[in-house]
Structure 1
Amino acid sequence: MQRLILDNGSFSIKCGYADSEDTVRVIPNSVVRTKRTKRIYIGDQIDTTTDLSGLYYRSPFERGYLLHWDAELAIWDRTFRVLGCKPSETSLFLSEPVFNFKHIQRATDEIVFEEYQFANMARAPVTRFSVANVGKLIYESGPDPECTLVVDVGHAFSYVVPYHNSRQISAGIRRVDVGGRILTNYLKETVSFRYWDMMDETYIMNAVKEQCCFVSQNFKRDLETTRGCIGQRKGNNPLGLEYVLPDFTHSKQGFIKGQGGEVETQMNDKQLLPLCNERFAIPEALFHPSDIGLEQGGLHQAVVQAVNACPEDLRAVLLANIVLVGGGAALNGLKQRLQCEIQAMVPYDVRVNVPDDPTMWAWRGGCLMAKQEDLISQWQISREQYQEMGVDRVIAHYNKFV
């Protein structure tokens, strides 16, 4: 029986079979309508159009939790069709948000077993998937460490979750209400106020954030460096650059000026977006949420609070085994800045580890879990067992494996 790993993120779905990484697909977890043609695109169908200006997004997730099942079912239908999945012959391994609500878990189980009729399912928080693969990241080889601190910088939130012997320490879980979506919206507002009106250009501005933004190692110094700079229109500032907006004729993706290759030479009338202190001022919200009106501590403070809520004999090991994952972990400089900020607050040695592809890390961890026969025999539930046990007992069963 095939084993399908579904990392159901609020920004994108990572889905593929455990026995072959070649099958994995990364599909946007949204339903999109174009502004001009009014056409609707589900999931990865958006890749088939060049009409990417002024897109209207509808996400199945709201504030990080799965609430709009009509949209999610359409995206899942598309995903399973792309993969050629036959649910009655497949075991599903599904990720969910940390501290997921019981009514959402109930709806998830009902849809998986009754709507799609999967043969088996195992469900766990996405951070549990991430922990399954940390041995190779921290030690390069050998067993997984006894204690791990997962810092998941996701689309909606950033979570800090401590684990001891692959079991989460619930008292130590912390959340920062800053994620990729807020950073993209913050960038849109800033750019729209200073340069071009980009409030309707979520797709473009998300690409700008991913290509141009970085985490400053010394915010005050970099801010002084960019004083008086507007992109590269005022002198040759080392931190300023210009981003070439897509024209949707020669290019559907923007690029940094001077790095567009052949496409850049074909574009005669380029529309340029100057960027300077926006490049590092936007990600700074991860460390100072008060900059965007959130009265809470930053990511580094959440880590220290999480560790201090754990037993004292585990704190040094947790700080030495921090794993930074999620789409936001790909921001340049985040690893170094986070390690430096935490080290200044604790008396222990701090080590932050980031995988080569932090976005796919949880999915790969799910693949490893799906190959552990002893774990699977206890963790997953068959459709027949679901019908026997009932929804509430199934939820209680899965909660034993967080």
Structure 2
Amino acid sequence: MKTLVVDNGGYSIKIGYADGECRTVPNAVFKSRTDRKRAYISDQLDELNERTGLFYSLPCERGYLVNWDIQRQIWEHLFTGYQPSETRIALSDPIYTVPAINDYSGEILFEDFGFSAVHKSAAPRWIGCAAAAVSSSNRLCLVVDSGYSFTHVVPLLDGQILQSGVLRIDVGGKVLTNLLKEWISYREINMREETYVVNECKEDCCYVSIDFDIDMKISRLKNETNTIRREYVLPDFRQNMRGFVRNPVREKDDLQKVSMNLERFSLPEVLFKPNDIGIDQLGIGEAVVESTKRIHEHLAPGLLQNIYVVGGSSLFPNFRQRLEREVRSGAPDLYGVGLASIPNPITHAWTSGAMLAKSDELPGGFMTRTEYLECGEDFMLEQRFLEFNDDPDYAEYLTNKLTKATSKSDDAFVQSTN
């Protein structure tokens, strides 16, 4: 039986059969200012040429799925061509879903679409389980998931989430895009309704500063001595469907553009310093170090040496270098710091889930349609939160794992210091 793997992100959905290719499509319904009668669902956006002033209908808010009508509409469009009655589905789920938010996924997937079996788990858990399955040296890993709505820091042991070390930062790509809209609108041209265009501007222009003070000094220089200043030429949706970056030119032309100077590095800086915009939380580098301090102290070396950085916000140039430098400065000197090499941070969670699905190693397995009809949604909820179970048997199970991992971490630590 085929398994459909769906990494259901707040900004995009990664979808495909476990033994096939992954498609990345928007997780939104769009309406155009020029044609408000038609709704463009997910990848139907490709059919729209004029993308100025787009209206967004999002199923997720702050990383949580709250608008199930919109999500069902998107899923119905994306599941076309699949055969749910002959297919299992593995669906990613947010960590720490608020109990007040109703979860209708079981009802929709089983009753509306008719899937034969459903698996639900947090995307970082897929990553941790897949890493441990590849090599015993990856039993301990720490996932930094910096996406659209938030950034999560998640330590794992054998694919099991270490709850006390999980941290959430309320800064992601959405916050940065909205912030850039305000900056450009205040300084140059009103872009408050141009979320789509400004988001592309952010992706094309911005980078993480390795030395913020030096970049700030350079951005204050004039003319050619300022090597940071760029112009972002806005798309006209006739000749240019996407804007592009160019060096400033003195000659006047008819192209509409915005100037990007210190905004290029000040914007991603918020990921590392949320206090700059009034969010009283740790930056990503500080959160990684703090996460390792909140769990068994002997596990810290193994976690710091095996950091997985995923999510769209990690694609800014210099992001990994800056994160590694900050973690290195905050961690004990004797501990090594290593970031795992990941070909595609956006699809890595899907790739991990697909690998586990092909080998039938998804954590917790699947809930069948028969089990759902007999036990209902409550049983699925209990299975979903297995990693946060506090019963004595589970505590003993985890303690045994900690003891084994501690001895291996200590051996690795001794070898690294000799």
TM (normalized to structure 1)? 0.90
TM-superposition CA deviations, 1:185-237 (whole Å, max 9, x none) = 111111111122111111111111111110000001100111145xxxx3352
Shift of 1:101: 3.3
Q: Residue 413 of structure 2 aligns with which residue?
A: none
Q: Which amino acid aligns with 1:52?
A: R
Residue number in structure 1 paired with 2:174? 181
1:155–1:180: 8 Å Cα contact kept in structure 2? yes
- Match runs of 1:1-400 below 5 Å: 1-21=1-21, 24-38=22-36, 39-81=38-80, 84-102=81-99, 104=101, 106-134=103-131, 142-143=135-136, 145-228=138-221, 234-257=223-246, 269-347=254-332, 348-373=335-360, 375=361, 379-400=365-386
Q: In 2, Cα distance between the equivalents of 1:50 and 1:70?
A: 26
Match of 1:264 in 2: none
Q: Matches of 2:17 and 2:384 in 1, distance apart? A: 21
Residue 274 of structure 1 aligns to a residue in which SS? Answer: strand
Aligned partner of 2:151: which letter?
S
Residue type of the alignment partner of 1:41: Y
271-280 or 11-20, which deviates more:
271-280
Is the contact between residue 128 and residue 158 of structure 2 (CA under 8 Å) also seen in structure 1?
Answer: no
Structure 1 counterpart of 2:19, which letter?
D
State the alpha-carbon separation in 1 of the partners of residues 210 and 77 from structure 2.
42
| Distance of aligned partners of 1:316 and 1:206 in 2 relative to their CA distance in 1, 3 Å threshold | same
Aligned CA distance change for structure 1 residues 144 and 60 (closer, same or farther; 3 Å):
farther
- Hey, what's the Cα distance between the residues in 2 that align with 1:245 and 1:224? 27
After superposing the two structures, state which structure 1 stretch, 195-204 or 125-134, moved more.
125-134
Consecutive unaligned residues of structure 1, counting only runs of 5 or more, are 259-267
- Contact 1:148/1:321 (8 A) holds in 2: yes
Compute the RMSD of aligned alpha carbons: 1.9
Deviation at 1:66, TM superposition (A): 0.3
Structure 1 CA distance for aligned equivalents of residues 362 and 166 of structure 2: 26
User: Aligned partners of 1:89, 1:105: CA distance in 2, in Å?
Assistant: 27
Deviation at 1:102, TM superposition (A): 4.3
Q: Distance in 2 between matches of 1:282 and 1:316?
A: 31
Residue deviations 1:305-346 (CA, integer Å, cap 9, x gap):
111001011001101111110111111111010111111111
Query: Residues 133 and 144 of structure 1 are in contact (CA less than 8 Å); yes or no, is this contact kept in structure 2?
Result: no
> Conserved in 2, the CA contact under 8 Å of 1:105 and 1:395?
no
Return the alpha-carbon distance in structure 2 between the equivalents of residues 146 and 391 of structure 1: 31
Residue 376 of structure 1 deviates from its aligned partner by 5.0
What's the % identity of the aligned pairs? 38
CA-to-aligned-CA distance 1:370-398 (integer Å, 9 cap, x gap): 0223x359511110011122221221123
Taking the aligned partners of 1:143 and 1:308, their CA distance within structure 2 comes to: 23
* Structure 2 residue runs without a partner (length 5+): 248-252, 389-418
Q: TM-score, normalised by structure 2?
A: 0.87
Per the TM alignment, residue 105 of structure 1 is displaced from its structure 2 partner at its CA by: 6.5
Partner-residue secondary structure (3-state), 2:138: coil
The code of the aligned residue for 1:11 comes to Y
- Asked whether the 8 Å contact 2:220–2:226 carries over to 1, the reply is no
Q: Tell me, in whole angstroms, the C-alpha distance in 1 between the residues paired with 2:54 and 2:88.
A: 35
* Segment of structure 1 superposing worse, 190-199 or 217-226: 190-199
1:90 and 1:47 map into 2 onto residues whose CA distance is 28
